[in-house]
A and B are shown apart, each in its own frame.
Chain A
Amino acid sequence: MLAYNSATVTNPPTTLDGLVSWIEAHPGKFAYCNPADGGSGAYFVENVLDSKMPASAVQTLAFNDDTALESDWKPGMSLLHQLNADVYGNGTYPTGNTQVLSLLGSGAVQMATVWSDQGTQALQDGQLPSTVKLVDISPAFPGSPVYLGVPKYTPPHQVTLVDAFLNFVLSVPQQAKIVKKVAGFPAIAVTLMTPTVKSEFTPLGEAESLPYSANIGSDMNKAWQEEVP
């Protein structure tokens, strides 16, 4: 999510374009971490890249390792490269999520991308001053998926047990717990969820950005390092 210090930022941006303009208008006041070191930076980068790509490409890269489509990253990467001079410290990228939080907490920056659960926790602990607020922008940040993997060679009698467990995790009440306890997105379609969850998520719209597959994410880290700082 986007975290900003409401004491100094009176008109926070609500769209990605708005965020980019804000960064350009307030050099040194926005920070995102190196995508290789922290998801909060990674999903910011992904969001920018996706906004300059055809939607079909974004969809494909979420599930396939179609490296040919990585050439569609060029416009997004060049925008990030332009923003290099306007982000915190003239292109200083903190090493991870927590460093970004501490920059925000100390007042070194006024706006940053942070994880929803980490940000909420920091507000509760007092690491972030109470003037810091967390908002979503449109298009929404992709976030990062959590995977449950089953080894191919699992013996059949164990497969049934594993299936039962997976069905349990994917059931509506458990997914609702995920939303409530870790502020996560459900792994099943929002339309299948409980009414309370549905109401929370529909404002964001369906088919919001999906994070890239693991290998594509790694390639993105590398491409970022090559082209941005």
Chain B
Amino acid sequence: MMSDAPTLTAPARSTHSNPPALGRRPGRRGIAGPRGGRVALLALLPVAFLAVFGGIPVVLSLLLVLGHTGGPNQAVSELGQNEIAGRGLGTLGAITQVLRDKVFQQSVVATVVVLLVTSMVVLGGGLAITVWHRLRPSRPTALLQFLAVIPLFVPVVIASFALWTFWGDRGAADSAAQLAGVSHALVFSGTLKGVVIAEVWVSLPFAVLLLRSGIAAVSDSSLDAARDVGAGTLRTARQIVLPQLRRECLVVFCFTAVGVLGSFTVPYIIGPSSPLLLGVDAATTFTSYNEPQQSAVIGFAIFALAAVVGCVYAVGSRSRRVAAR
């Protein structure tokens, strides 16, 4: 029992970087007593809100996918067209129809390719920026870290617009290229490359923030030791810093991937007419083709892909837990 007032320095255990696991832990207050029950109720507030405004719509959407066009889905079904209704438990007709759709198949391929490239570029770029600053801190590197976070504060529709004009036909990049004699070399708006550029631009801040918080846990002494041994920057980065950042890298990769999966604004404004990204396909199926059921199917397809990314995360973080730090 401590008799003096608690001081606010030198915490009893490490608290920086990795968010502590939020699952059950020994030594945490359990639900013993009435207090635990009341506290649990607090947690129900946002859950109830999400259940009503998020959960129920998702369930109704699933019902619509399975062909239940009546009841709560009736209004939507009357307005929509090309619906495939089912009896009893439902039908997989809508799902098979969408899966066979050529545009949908192209969208899946395009989305997966874009998300893989984006996640890798974001991870690579984020690592480069944060590790560089940690190993060779200087004003420019600090500035670069700050700049890398700016896109977080730019609304995504502005970002898409800015990038679309900048990298577009007769935009700034194209003009610069023209002046340099390589006309049309830097026109990326309206292509998947442009979508990757924009998604990278938009996802970089989160990666930098997360990696930065993770890299702070790398001890100065280990870096000093490396330097004393004569290891260069790259070597130190590869052998000392990177292994300690595995968890953050996994989080960055998976968050970026899920972000690209559900993204609509960026590919809508910058992307090509074909292939579409899944988010755009889902939205246009609803608004332009007036097919709410098929749009819901595409939505669940995106969710399924996000679940795959979630599995990747789960598998990746489990194997880390085995190796003690």
**Which residues of B does A touch, CB under 8 Å?**
81-82, 101-103, 169-170, 190, 268-269, 272-274, 276, 284-285, 288-291
Chain A's closest residue to B170 (CB) is: A106
User: Which residues of B are found within 8 Å of A186, using beta-carbon distances?
Assistant: none
Given known pairs A89-B190, A225-B284, the reply for A215 and B273 (CB within 8 Å) is no
Flag if B169 contacts A219 (CB, 8 Å): no
Flag if A229 contacts B273 (CB, 8 Å): yes
Flag if B288 contacts A36 (CB, 8 Å): yes
Chain B's closest residue to A36 (CB) is: B288
Flag if A91 contacts B81 (CB, 8 Å): no
- Can you list 23 A-B contacts (CB < 8 A)? A34-B273, A36-B288, A89-B169, A89-B190, A91-B273, A91-B274, A92-B272, A93-B273, A95-B268, A95-B269, A108-B169, A215-B81, A218-B81, A218-B290, A218-B291, A219-B289, A221-B284, A221-B288, A222-B285, A222-B288, A225-B276, A226-B101, A229-B272
| A106-B170, A215-B290, A221-B284 known, 11 other contacts, Cβ within 8 Å | A91-B274, A92-B190, A92-B273, A103-B169, A108-B169, A215-B81, A218-B81, A221-B289, A222-B291, A226-B101, A229-B274
Beta-carbon contacts under 8 Å, A68-126 to B: 89, 91-93, 95, 103, 106, 108
When each residue 193-229 of chain A gets 1 if its CB lies under 8 Å from chain B and 0 otherwise, what string results?
0000000000000000000001100110110011001
Smallest CB separation, A73 vs chain B (Å): 14
> Which A-B residue pairs are the 8 nearest by beta carbons?
A229-B274, A36-B288, A218-B290, A222-B289, A93-B273, A229-B273, A221-B288, A92-B190
Smallest CB separation, B77 vs chain A (Å): 13
Flag if B102 contacts A226 (CB, 8 Å): yes
Beta-carbon contacts under 8 Å, A143-171 to B: none
Chain B residues touching A, majority SS:
loop
User: Which residues of A are found within 8 Å of B268, using beta-carbon distances?
Assistant: 95
Flag if A218 contacts B289 (CB, 8 Å): yes
Flag if B269 contacts A225 (CB, 8 Å): no
Chain B's closest residue to A90 (CB) is: B190
Docked Cα-Cα span, A103 to B171, in Å, equals 11
User: Which residues of A are found within 8 Å of B274, using beta-carbon distances?
Assistant: 91, 225, 229
User: Which residues of B are found within 8 Å of A95, using beta-carbon distances?
Assistant: 268-269
Docked Cα-Cα span, A103 to B169, in Å, equals 9
Chain A's closest residue to B287 (CB) is: A36
Docked Cα-Cα span, A89 to B272, in Å, equals 11
Interface range for A: 20 to 34
Chain A's closest residue to B191 (CB) is: A92
Docked Cα-Cα span, A229 to B289, in Å, equals 16
**Which residues of A does B touch, CB under 8 Å?**
34, 36-37, 65, 89, 91-93, 95, 103, 106, 108, 214-215, 218-219, 221-222, 225-226, 229
Smallest CB separation, A147 vs chain B (Å): 14
Docked Cα-Cα span, A19 to B82, in Å, equals 34
User: Which residues of A are found within 8 Å of B289, using beta-carbon distances?
Assistant: 36, 218-219, 221-222, 225
Partner of A218, one of B169, B273, B288: B288
Docked Cα-Cα span, A222 to B102, in Å, equals 11
Smallest CB separation, A205 vs chain B (Å): 31
Docked Cα-Cα span, A34 to B170, in Å, equals 20
Docked Cα-Cα span, A216 to B192, in Å, equals 30
User: Which residues of A are found within 8 Å of B82, using beta-carbon distances?
Assistant: 219
Given known pairs A92-B272, A106-B170, A225-B103, the reply for A219 and B81 (CB within 8 Å) is yes
- Interface core residue of B170, B274, B276, B284 (most chain A CB under 10 Å): B274
Smallest CB separation, A127 vs chain B (Å): 14
Smallest CB separation, A27 vs chain B (Å): 15
Docked Cα-Cα span, A7 to B103, in Å, equals 39
Chain B's closest residue to A225 (CB) is: B103
Smallest CB separation, B166 vs chain A (Å): 15
User: Which residues of B are found within 8 Å of A91, using beta-carbon distances?
Assistant: 273-274
Docked Cα-Cα span, A215 to B278, in Å, equals 23
